[in-house]
């Protein structure tokens, strides 16, 4: 069961644009492009970063853990 869009190739991708997934209008209109800074902000608090997102994730409060996740996401192709 897949709960969200594939994160492969997320670096450099405009938020809400991967075909085959139904994104919230808020995310599609966010203007975000995924990079180290935007991923860090998103993973800190998705609902504060993009009010109206349907992402059921509260965020990662620990900066070191968040950096590990961001670093990993940036390696996915």
User: Any residues with CB less than 8 A from the CB of 56 and at least 6 apart, and which?
Assistant: none
Q: Quickly state the pLDDT bin for 1 (edges 50, 70, 90).
A: very low
Rounded (10°) CA dihedral 64, 21, 49, 28: 140
User: CA 27, CA 49: separation in Å to the nearest integer?
Assistant: 9
Residue 16 and residue 50 in contact, taking contact as beta carbons nearer than 8 Å: no
Write out the two tokens for 40.
């860090």
Shortest CA distance to 56 belongs to which of 42, 71, 46?
46
Over residues 2-39, the pLDDT tens digits come to: 678 999 999 999 999 999 999 999 999 999 999 999 99
Architecture per CATH, 25-73: Orthogonal Bundle (1.10)
Q: How is the chain split into domains, by residue range?
A: 25-73
């Amino acid at each position: 069961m897949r709960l969200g869009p594939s994160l492969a190739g997320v670096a450099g991708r405009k938020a809400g644009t991967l075909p085959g997934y139904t994104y919230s209008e808020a995310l599609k209109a966010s203007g975000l492009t995924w990079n180290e800074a935007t991923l860090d902000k998103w993973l800190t608090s998705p609902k504060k970063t993009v009010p109206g997102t349907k992402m059921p994730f509260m965020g990662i409060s620990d900066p070191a853990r968040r950096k590990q996740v961001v670093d990993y996401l940036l390696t996915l192709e």
